[in-house]
Amino acid sequence: MTSTEKENRPQTAPIEAGGEEMEQAIESVRPNRKKAMIKASVFVAFIIIAIYVVKFTPVKGYFTARALGNFLDSAGFWAPLAFVFVYAAGVCLFLPGTLLTGLGAAIFGAYWGFVYVWFGAMAGASGAFWIGRTMGREFAASLIGDKLKKYDDAIESNGFATTLYLRLVYFPFTPMNFGMGLTKVRFWDYFFGTGLGIIVGTFIFTFFIGTLKDVWISGNWGELLSFKVFFSLGLLAFSFFIPKIIKKIRLRYE
């Protein structure tokens, strides 16, 4: 056989080998895709069941100031830790964060209420993030096209700043916890952004509720005209302007 014939002879083996490799790659992707869809289905089912349990079953009766107060009284020394656990569970069950925060302030007062609410919120935010990341991230990543990928990458690169900004502008607490788990944001960026971002709003709300609780317990309604009450009202009013102030600052430096 001449050299020319050798050069012109079809090279089938490499092509066949390449085809086999492509088929193997496709076959390896299919189980991953199926696994991601199963996890996503479980995630959606979890959300539906959690909302149903809280809204349409006797469980909702436990998330009242009286019921929770009785439970914490029975916990004794462990009451703060029990409250943190209840708060975290409530967040993962899609209970509104404002409800849980108000209960904490009503039970523990303005200052200790703030401390326990903050720890409970952080535990709940971390738990919800983990659920979203474990159950839904793979499926969410499979749906991201070229246009959305750049935003997903941007969130990963600026995770702390993005999380902090969304917390400061009062983005809905519970949906954000699960939603951030679906993105590429790193956990510790999310954790510290959340921890810093919720401090102001949490303190203002617990201080306001705790102050009203102190007046209610004392029975001295004249204290409604005290400096502490007016200060708490001022802080509460100011909190509604925080999102606008943050947005203006952001636009100025962009």
Instruction: Give, for all 254 residues of the chain, the pLDDT tens digit.
Output: 555 555 555 555 554 555 555 444 444 444 577 777 888 788 888 888 888 887 778 777 777 778 888 888 888 889 999 999 999 998 998 888 888 898 899 889 888 999 999 999 999 999 999 998 888 887 777 766 666 677 778 888 888 988 988 898 888 888 899 989 888 899 999 999 999 989 888 888 888 888 888 777 766 666 666 666 677 778 777 777 777 777 777 666 56
Can you give the pLDDT at residue 22?
A: 45
Q: In degrees rounded to 5, what are phi and psi of residue 171?
A: -60, 140
Structure tokens at 206: 């617990």
Counting every residue written for the chain, the total comes to 254
Can you give the pLDDT at residue 136?
A: 81
Nearest to 91 by CA among 198, 196, 186, 185: 198
pTM of the prediction?
Answer: 0.75
Question: Running DSSP on this structure, what letter comes out for residue 169?
Answer: T
| Segments in the chain forming alpha helices (H) | 3-8, 12-56, 65-75, 79-92, 97-108, 110-143, 146-157, 159-168, 173-181, 187-197, 199-218, 227-239, 242-253
Q: In degrees rounded to 5, what are phi and psi of residue 9?
A: -70, 135
Cβ–Cβ < 8 Å for 202, 114: yes
The separation between CA 228 and the C-alpha centre of its own chain, rounded to angstroms, equals 32
CA distance 133 to 182: 5
Terminal Cα-to-Cα distance of the chain (whole angstroms): 71
CA dihedral for 54, 96, 93, 143, sign (positive or negative): positive
